[in-house]
Amino acid sequence: MITEKAKVYYTKEITPESLIRIYEKLCTPLKGNIGINVSTGERWSKGYLKTNLIKPFIDKLNGMIIECNTAYPGAWNDAKEHMEVAREHGFTEMGQGVEIMDEFGEFKIPVHNGNTYNTT
């Protein structure tokens, strides 16, 4: 049973600077390879976070945007097309770029008692 109430943070200002300020308030600085799951948007879509908003944040963390292909038909169903859409939308030029996690197929990661183990 969870007894602690969730904290909710709010900002009226939606800017690259406010995104970084929110991150700095919420989080201990991250180290190492940082994967950031942000939708790069379908080819036809306008409903994704634009690069001018999130680029300073991604660059600050030197993060890599990570996504997976979809099970439904479309550009996100094929890793090559998926990456092309990410490039068209400007995401490959941020931080460490974009990685399609299942670009080369899928594999299972064993988890025991909440811990993952290196299988290589």
| Residue-by-residue pLDDT tens, the chain, 120 positions | 667 787 777 788 989 999 898 888 877 788 888 999 888 888 888 888 899 999 999 999 999 999 988 777 766 678 888 899 999 999 999 889 999 888 887 777 777 777 666 655
**Could you tell me where the DSSP H helices lie in the chain?**
16-26, 51-61, 79-88
User: pLDDT at position 1, please?
Assistant: 60
User: pLDDT at position 52, please?
Assistant: 92
What is the distance between the alpha carbons of residues 15 and 54, in angstroms, rounded to a whole number?
9
User: pLDDT at position 120, please?
Assistant: 54
* Residue 115 neighbours by CB under 8 Å, 6+ apart: none
User: pLDDT at position 22, please?
Assistant: 86
Residue 89 phi, psi (nearest 5): -85, 0
Helix (H, G, I), strand (E, B) or coil at 67: strand
* Residue 96 neighbours by CB under 8 Å, 6+ apart: 33, 62, 63, 64
The answer to whether residues 117 and 82 touch, using CB atoms and an 8 Å cutoff, is no
What is the distance between the alpha carbons of residues 16 and 46, in angstroms, rounded to a whole number?
19
Task: Identify residue 25 by its one-letter amino acid code.
Answer: K
